[in-house]
Amino acid sequence: MNNIEFYLNNQLVPPPDNWMALLIQVSFMDEDPQTTLNATQLIWKGANANTLNTWLNDGLSGGLGIWEGIPFEIRVCNSGFVVFNGICDLSDENTKFSCDIVNVIIRDMREDMIKQLFQSISWSFLATPVSGGGPTPGPWSINSSDYISIPYQVNNIPDYFEFILCAISIMEVISQVEKIVKELISLISAGVTTFGTILGIPAAVGFVIEVIYWVAELILNMTCVIALIETAMAEIIASVYHKWGMNVLNLMRKACAYFNIGFESSIMESEPMNRLAIMPVKGAWANVQSYSSTLFSIFGGGFSTNNRKLYDDPSNYAATGFAYGYPDGTFKDLFDWYSDYFNAKPRIILDSNGDPVLHFEVWDAIVLDSGVSMPNISEDAPFPQPFQTNASELAANYLVQYQKDEMDVNTYDTYDGTSCYAQFVPINISNPTNVTLKNLINKQLAFAQGVRKTHGTVPEQIFHDFTSVVNGITNLVRVTINSITSLINDVISLLPGDLPTIKPIPKFNLTYQIPIGNLLLTDNSTGVQKSLLLVEGGLLDPTNHTTNDPIAAKKLMKNYHYSSLIYCNDPSGSPYWNQFMKFKQQTIPLCCEDFAALYNTNYLSTFDGQSARVDSLSYNTFKAMAKIDYRIRFQFTKNIKASFMVDGITAQTYPTTLFL
């Protein structure tokens, strides 16, 4: 019999009455490859029952009470090895209380962490200050510095009709400037001649006044040119706004930090997915905004207009506090979304110190050999044990697809990277009605794609070139007029009276650089959250919507979902056959040390040296026996072919490889 100890609220206690019937179950099932420990309901009497009742009643007098489980551990192997580290759950509906007996349900912290505790905390809670009911500040806190400012433009602008009208208006004003310049040159030429023969002061005064008039009109017209260009750029060229999102790796680390567990992921902690961001659904609210331009500044300001202001725009955060970049939902929601995204599963494994670490990997990527070897368990040894196959688990169709956002037409217009569909059929078929390969695995991702701005619109290109020309013209005119006004001011200084001088025209600096790499949206609001691969400055990765886009559905299928297909090539290009023989409910002797080795792993060796992946085992510590389900890789057919449809376009059919 193995030594077994029970610790209730960190104190060694007598075992529960039913401890000899205790079965510890470890599950590594394909569909949920996380280690879980489940145990029968425990029956506590005497002092232990009193401990549980006291814990329950303390909730009435400032204690922790029913909604915090009592720490509970099971240790075996005479070495303090912890096979169960969890809680006694007083809130479970199957827990029963009486004065001297308590039947209590226990929950393992590793199962509980992801399935229940992660579901109990929302991201908005981490962003709430303590004064508003949020958590004590720590590495789990979400602050504005955690947000990524993602620049975007509304790409249903420009209105080309408005652009043409505005261009005509600008050309008319420029034409008027040209006429005024000609008039000034003519006037000044005549004035020079007049000054050569001038006899009286009044003639000079009249000349100065006329020059001042034309200079003022020229300044006004030049200002109108600049104002019209500014207005055109504001109304015809899409302004650059910003929305907040968050780095996914940062979020996962914060979730784990809140529950004091570690985090490791070769997916999320490596390029390029360490740059993956999530942008939650965005909306707007009505707000009075002011408007001003060069033209209105001449008359003392601008005007106000009741626009739809972006309540989650970073510029509003200080004033309104409404801006946010964290996801909607709970910790578990985020891990569920990206589990589908990467065909991954979060799994909590205890490290060498016994501390829990959440590993986020492709579901079959964690291969930890326990070093345990099974005896020959054939019923008719030395003949092979009867086996089953995993053929019934495999689907003829497999789809990875992003959502389309009805509020963002870009998700329809720029469809590249949205979907990848794999279909598998037998190569040789004698009767189609007898084919048993069927079913669909449909990975409908929780996100819409983002579309990157790759080039300027026609008005942007025109304004980019036009502003340079206008700067040159206006500044040439400015230099000329300032030279003239300087001479006029010299004349004014000679005239009687306290006449005002003409102020020099300031330098015009009107430029426009075409923004590239911004997120494109149809409107300021979105209806589906987005998963975005970003580079510095919150810009979208240049590979966006190309054949090299790491987060295109095709690449997600190839790099992460390959292990759920019947066969394909893995990311290294090697053939991957998802075919196994399965053995169920095999009874084997298992000493305490071997169980301890298997506790955090999922591979052992058969008696003939084959590597076997453990699906589950049930261990009776009292009898030192286990029932085990395991599988061994085994190719049972090559009569299969694959075809892949990318973004709705049927590709070639490949007999042994994926499409890249």
The tokens for 576 are 């991957």
Query: At residue 29, what is the residue type?
Result: M
Query: Of 276, 249, 270, which Cα lies nearest the Cα of 449?
Result: 276
Indicate the pLDDT class of residue 590, thresholds 50, 70 and 90: confident
Residue 52 has a pLDDT of 86
pLDDT tens for 566-584 read 888 778 778 888 899 999 8
Instruction: Tell me the C-alpha to C-alpha distance, in Å, between residue 475 and each of 262, 385, 482, 505, 513.
Output: 62, 92, 10, 9, 19
The predicted model gives 240-253 an average pLDDT of 93
% of the chain surpassing 90 pLDDT: 26
Select the more confidently predicted residue: 205 or 526.
526
Is 48 in contact with 14 (CB distance < 8 Å)? yes
Query: Of 39, 11, 17, which Cα lies nearest the Cα of 26?
Result: 39
Query: At residue 288, what is the residue type?
Result: V
**What is the CA 304 to chain-centroid distance, rounded?**
36
Residue 16 has a pLDDT of 85
Select the more confidently predicted residue: 488 or 307.
488
Range name among 9-23, 315-329, 384-398, 610-624 with the lowest pLDDT average: 315-329
Q: Tell me the pLDDT of the chain averaged across its residues.
A: 78
**Is the per-residue pLDDT at 634 higher than 60?**
yes
Indicate the pLDDT class of residue 652, thresholds 50, 70 and 90: very low
Q: In the chain, count of helices (H) and strands (E)?
A: 14, 33
Residue 453 has a pLDDT of 92
Whole-angstrom distance, CA of residue 47 vs CA of residue 125? 38
Query: Of 551, 34, 485, 477, which Cα lies nearest the Cα of 278?
Result: 551
Burial of 497 (0-12, 13-18, 19+ CB in 10 A): exposed
Indicate the pLDDT class of residue 283, thresholds 50, 70 and 90: confident
- Cβ count near 255 (within 10 Å): 26
Select the more confidently predicted residue: 465 or 640.
640
Residues 6+ apart with CB under 8 A from 527: 281, 405, 406, 407, 408
Residue 487 has a pLDDT of 65
The predicted model gives 550-560 an average pLDDT of 94
Residues 6+ apart with CB under 8 A from 338: 248, 344, 360
Range name among 109-123, 573-587, 610-624, 633-647 with the lowest pLDDT average: 109-123
Q: Beta 369-373 vs 603-605: how paired, if at all?
A: parallel
CA dihedral 301, 304, 308, 312 (to 10 degrees): 50
pLDDT tens for 494-503 read 666 666 666 7
pLDDT tens for 41-68 read 788 888 888 888 888 888 888 888 888 8
Residue 653 has a pLDDT of 45
Indicate the pLDDT class of residue 246, thresholds 50, 70 and 90: very high
**Is the per-residue pLDDT at 306 higher than 50?**
no
**Is the per-residue pLDDT at 201 higher than 60?**
no
**Is the per-residue pLDDT at 659 higher than 50?**
no
The predicted model gives 631-648 an average pLDDT of 88
pLDDT tens for 69-102 read 888 888 877 666 777 777 888 888 888 888 888 8
% of the chain surpassing 70 pLDDT: 65
Indicate the pLDDT class of residue 660, thresholds 50, 70 and 90: very low
**Is the per-residue pLDDT at 33 higher than 60?**
no
**Is the per-residue pLDDT at 563 higher than 70?**
yes
Residue 298 has a pLDDT of 45
- The backbone region for 496, taken as left when phi is positive above 0, alpha when psi lies in -120 to 50, beta otherwise, is beta
**Is the per-residue pLDDT at 194 higher than 60?**
no
The tokens for 642 are 């694959």
Range name among 214-223, 406-415, 520-529 with the lowest pLDDT average: 214-223
Residue 404 has a pLDDT of 95
The predicted model gives 640-658 an average pLDDT of 67
Q: Tell me phi and psi for residue 412, to 5 degrees.
A: -95, -45
Indicate the pLDDT class of residue 459, thresholds 50, 70 and 90: low
Q: Beta 611-620 vs 603-605: how paired, if at all?
A: antiparallel
Q: DSSP letters of 475-534? A: HHHHHHHHHHHHHHHHHHHHSSS-PPPPPPPPPP--------SPEEESSS--SS-EEEEB
- Cβ count near 242 (within 10 Å): 19
pLDDT tens for 307-345 read 555 555 666 555 555 678 899 999 999 999 999 999 998
Indicate the pLDDT class of residue 242, thresholds 50, 70 and 90: confident
Whole-angstrom distance, CA of residue 495 vs CA of residue 212? 15
**Could you give the residue ranges of the DSSP H alpha helices within 236-384?**
248-258, 294-298, 317-320, 331-342
Residue 339 has a pLDDT of 95
Residues 6+ apart with CB under 8 A from 197: none
Indicate the pLDDT class of residue 464, thresholds 50, 70 and 90: low
